[in-house]
Structure 1
Amino acid sequence: MIRTVSAGETAPTTYAWPVQARGLRVRAGRRFAVDGLDLRLGFGVHGLLGPNGAGKTTLIRALATVARPASGHLELLGQAVDSGGDLREVRRGLGYLPQEFGHYRWYTVREFVEYVAWLREVPARDVPDAVQRAIDRVDLTSRAGSTLRSLSGGMLRRVGLAQAVVGDPTLLLLDEPTVGLDPEQRARALELLRDLGRDTCVVVATHVVDDVAAACTDVVLLDAGRVAFHGPVAGLTAAGTGGADPEVGGGVLERGYAALLRRHRDREGSK
């Protein structure tokens, strides 16, 4: 699929893959949390799974242009961010929800989403409609005038989703987006992700395998900063039913997750 990006650009850019990485290495402190990663992501919802310390958050930070690559190649929205690409252009086209997002406690929901729209350089004439659409999409319409300090944890997480999707970014990066949501809110958030994935590259880092099965078109499984598996969600199911260790607890998807990790580690150990 070819996507032509025009809104807010100084010159049109055409690219086939919103995310391309080759031999990518990114530090987290003194170690390489992402270590020689090869990855290419198109439009759709991509689940990012892996054990603690696998490099999920560091990879998301690199895709958000928060963490700089130490080596390798990283191209986002047609810009080679490791070698002189236009970071401002990339940042206009991406939305980002970190695990913990900073916010101004005294801002209202509407004021905060407006502020992020301004940071993303959404054209001024489009801001009111873009902000209202983002607030409506996360079911906070009735709380648009409430201050952030007055909201529950689950509502704040939904504000985080609203600020990430305002302006309809082409690349959407979400780190644990359903944490703190009740079952009804979680179901609506996953429905939103499915809707967004029709014309957006959405990357969702999570520990909840069921969220991946419910919302994602494919899954990227990381282990020690490398890709252990990249394929359809059905690949987890197949790995969980085709000779997975019966002593591993959980459902089919969890068993598939464990089996794919084990296979990857066996391959790495035999090199």
Structure 2
Amino acid sequence: MLAIDAVSHFYKKQLALEEISLHLEPGITGLVGVNGAGKTTMLSIASGSLKPTHGLVAVGDHHLYERGSRKAGLRHIGYMPQAFAYHPSFTAHEYVTYLGYLRGQKWAAAWSMARDVLASVGLEGKLRHKMGSLSGGMIRRVGLAQALMGNPEVLLLDEPTTGLDPEQRSAIRNLIAELADAKFVFVSSHIMEDIEALAAKVVVLHEGAILFSNSIQQLRNISPVDNARDAAEAGFLSLVTRARSGVR
């Protein structure tokens, strides 16, 4: 459904992504890397928010950065950025409705759908609460809800558990797992525990390049440790260490 083909990106002269190619499969795919690996850049490009310096991004037959097909392609994508702006005086219902409206929905339809998606993330009792009064965990739920507006087939979630305590992280992971049915989900994190709890497949990104793209089990098999509980993280760290030493 989502195809990234030979994508490279520069910020001025600084290389951020190098020749990235990936075809997203049904279910949940994890994107893991240390801070600064390029995860946010990759998801921004995949969501249609940041035009790559080189390469193509397509959803089905719709190329996101070609004028004739961009609008149709964006309808299939829901994007939860790591950080998103909101006016603290908006209610949760108003905020999600407004974002749906900005994406082309009629106001009445967006108002009705916003109620439904907020209920789907457990916020049916917070519709009239001001955004500025919500906890960090609730704000992350609102971010997930707005990504669901329009019932997109592709969900791109950038560090959805960032800044949350362990209980809140677990709750958000459970929500993502429940909402992922029949969707293509690409979720990033620098916390391997979150990726391991959610994804069957994982992509390891380091310094803008893909080091690994395979199953969680294959990542565990790379691990130099015998402890099964820590095997995926150890496999990830082994890949990063080898890359830093010039071994791929």
TM-score by length of 2: 0.89
1:191 aligns to what SS in structure 2?
helix
2:153 alignment partner in structure 1: 170
Q: 1:65-120 CA deviation, whole Å, 9 max, x = no partner?
A: 11111112222242123444522122222111111101121110011111122223
1:251 aligns to what SS in structure 2?
helix
Alignment gaps of 5+ in structure 1: 1-17
Q: How does 1:113-124 map to 2 (within 5 A)?
A: 113-122=96-105
Answer yes or no: is 1:201 the counterpart of 2:187. no
2:151 aligns to what SS in structure 1?
coil
1:179 alignment partner in structure 2: 162
Question: Against the structure 1 CA distance between its residues 263 and 198, is the aligned structure 2 distance closer, same or farther, given a 3 Å change threshold?
Answer: farther
Of the candidates 188, 195, 215, which is equivalent to residue 232 of structure 1? 215
Of the candidates 211, 218, 223, which is equivalent to residue 194 of structure 2? 211
2:8 aligns to what SS in structure 1?
strand
Distance 1:209 1:71 in 2: 30
Paired letter, 2:238: A
Choose 62-71 or 190-199, whichever is displaced more. 190-199
- Aligned residues: percent identity? 32
TM-score by length of 1: 0.82
Instruction: Say how many residue pairs are matched.
Output: 247
Distance 1:168 1:152 in 2: 25
Paired letter, 2:163: G
1:5 alignment partner in structure 2: none
**Contact persistence 1:63–1:76 (CA under 8 A):** no
1:259 alignment partner in structure 2: 238
- Compute the RMSD of aligned alpha carbons: 2.4
Distance 2:88 2:193 in 1: 32
1:7 alignment partner in structure 2: none
Q: 1:125-155 CA deviation, whole Å, 9 max, x = no partner?
A: 6434421221112222221101111122222
**Contact persistence 1:54–1:224 (CA under 8 A):** yes
Question: Against the structure 1 CA distance between its residues 82 and 91, is the aligned structure 2 distance closer, same or farther, given a 3 Å change threshold?
Answer: closer
Q: How does 1:18-37 map to 2 (within 5 A)?
A: 18-37=1-20
Residue 162 of structure 1, CA deviation: 1.2
Paired letter, 1:224: E
Distance 1:269 1:253 in 2: 19
1:51 alignment partner in structure 2: 34
Distance 2:92 2:208 in 1: 36
